Each structure stands twice: as C-alpha cells, then as structure tokens.
Structure 1
C-alpha cells in the first residue's frame, strides 16, 4: 500500500516558510521542500503550481494580518495618536503571532514578481502609518521636529527587528503584550510632545 499524502495546503505552507527562512527563497529548490516535507515533489505540485505560489501565499498571510490591523475600529476612530499607538501595538502582536510569515515578508528583496508585489504592499502599509503620524503631528500630539518619514522608518525598524531576536519557544520570552507595551512605551515616549 502506498504512503498517503497527509499534507494540507496549510501544513505544506508552514514547512515551505520554515525552509525559505532557513535557506532563503532563492536558495530553496522544490527538492529541498520535498525533503523537508517528507513527500514527493509531485505531491507538492498537487497542492501548488510551484515555489513562487508558496511564497505568495506565505507573504499574503503576513500582509493580510498587517492590513487587517488598519481596519480595526481602534485604528480608524479617535485621536490619531491613540490610533497610531493601537496600530503599533497590534502590528507587534501580529508579527509575533505570525512570526515565520512576517520574517519571510521582511526578507524579500524584489527578485521575483511576488517579491516586488510584496514590497509594494509594504510601502502602501508604511504610507498609511505615515499618514497617522502626520495626523498626530497636526493634532499636536507628536513632535513636529522629527521628520514623519524618518519617524515611520525608526518606529517600524524597531518593530521589525523583533523578527530577528524574539523566540517564543524560550521559557524566558516575553509575551506579545509585554513586547508590544515595551515598543509603544519606548517609541512614543520619544515621539510625544
């Protein structure tokens, strides 16, 4: 009796993201994915057209989580500073909840159509956050002497760095709420007027 393929698209995607993060997308072949999943390449092709489809699905999962934050009521109503703090806190929580997927998103370099699409979506996200920063400055809650583009880059540089050091499997790891509190406190104590 032949071994039955027990992989679902979601479990295959999780394996692909792990391999992409270890080897890099460009350094990963279908053979690498097949070995990591313990299934044949033809079984992978049963679920997806190819490696780039797996990349797009993974990156979409990360981007969808980030963009969903911008649609939450606390991100769309109230003073801009409160919306900005909410977005920052929730982005940290999404990053931690979807750590392998967001890590992959942060590592794309524009070498494929999917990577260029992802980079464009990231820029769109950054622009929307920069608009919140501009609104908070206009409302008098954030310092006007810090360039908004610079503040956006610094804020998300700090947030994105979490993907490099946060390891939830460590017993000493902070919770996502503790990390989010630390980021919000550190960033906004320097940005608030």
Structure 2
C-alpha cells in the first residue's frame, strides 16, 4: 500500500516563536553575552540563514523577549492606574506583577539579569526604572491613605515588595503544585499584612 503522506525534507521548520523561546532559554542558561549565533543555530538545528529568516540578529531576540516582559508589567500598571483608590491601585499592581511573572517567567528572568552592556539592555533598564518609580508613587499614595505604614521609606518598601515578587523566578514552576492565582493572593497578603496572625 502506498503512503499518501508527503515525504519530509530535512529538519522540520521553526516558527519565530520557537527562535525567541530558544534564545531566551540560552540567554538565561549561559548569559546573553556568552551566547553566540552558533549556539542558537545549534539549539534549533538550523543554519544561520534559516535563523536570519526569522530575526535580524541575536540582539533582536533579546529586544523582543524584554519587550514581552516589560510590556506585561506596563499593561499591569496601566490597569492598576484605572482603580479609584491608592489602596486598590497598589493591590492591583502587586497582583498584576505576580501574574506577569508567572505567565512570562523566562522573559522576566532575563529582564532581572540584565547588566546594561548593550543599547537594547540600557533601553530596557530605563523602562524598568520608570516602572519602579511609578510604583513607588503608588506606595506613597497608599501611605497617605493609611494602607502602608507612613514611617517606611516608599522607595525601600517598593524594593522589598518587588524583591519578594522577583524571587519567584528562582523557585516558581508553571507545572508545579503552586497555583499562580493563589500565589498572587499570598504575596499580596505578606506584602501588605505581614506574617503575623491577625487578632
């Protein structure tokens, strides 16, 4: 009996998303600067010309990945800013940041490991600074409303909150037992209420 399936030629093709995913994995494993185009083609099993069919350069892979991470955080911030009270805005951005990290963990991991060694990295770090500054303003507004202790430095409080959120990249696993929605509630509870039991 003759097969009606067309014969396969060479390696199966890759989509642009595959190229970006492989690049992010390698950047996180061995560092962006230490990753060569040959490393990328070797991981994907394609030629350089096939790789360049999808992206212009290694730097473009980095830029796309960082934009996914920062774009997610900026969208979460924009959503938080639509809330009426400072308390609701701060609550929304904390929960939103956890959702972005759990949904885009590899991209956020890459963002958190930037060294600022290239124009792409410097631009991403500047976007991150603007995000951090706006969240610090939300903390100050929440202090004025009484949600956050007024004796705390708002910038330090912001760093501590996001230090906890950012630490999730080290242990959270999408296929693990921790539910991301519940995780967001728990981070929020610890950040705003602490670990002491309520009276």
TM-score tier (shorter): over 0.9
Q: Output the aligned Cα RMSD.
A: 1.4
Tell me if 1:149 matches 2:155: yes
TM-score, L = length of structure 1: 0.92
For the pair 1:19 / 2:26, whether they are aligned, the reply is: yes
Aligned pairs (5 A) from 1:49-128? 49-72=56-79, 74-128=80-134
Secondary structure at the aligned position of 2:13 is classed as coil
Q: How does 1:156-171 map to 2 (within 5 A)?
A: 156-170=162-176
Structure 1: gaps of 5 or more residues: none
**1:2 positional shift:** 5.0
For the pair shown, the structure with the greater C-alpha radius of gyration is: 2
Stretches of 4+ moved more than 3 A in 1?
A: none
| Number of residue pairs matched by the alignment | 187
Q: Equivalents in 1 of 2:9, 2:95: separation in Å?
A: 49
Given that 2:37 and 2:58 are in contact with CA atoms closer than 8 Å, whether structure 1 keeps it comes out as yes
Query: Take 2:63 and 2:75, find their aligned partners in 1: how far apart are those partners?
Result: 17
> 2 CA distance for matches of 1:64 and 1:4?
33
- Counterpart of 1:176 in structure 2 is 180
The structural deviation recorded for 1:90 is: 1.2
Structure 2 gaps, min length 5: 1-7, 195-199
Structure 2 residue 50 is matched with structure 1 residue 46: no
Query: Normalised by the size of structure 2, how large is the TM-score?
Result: 0.89
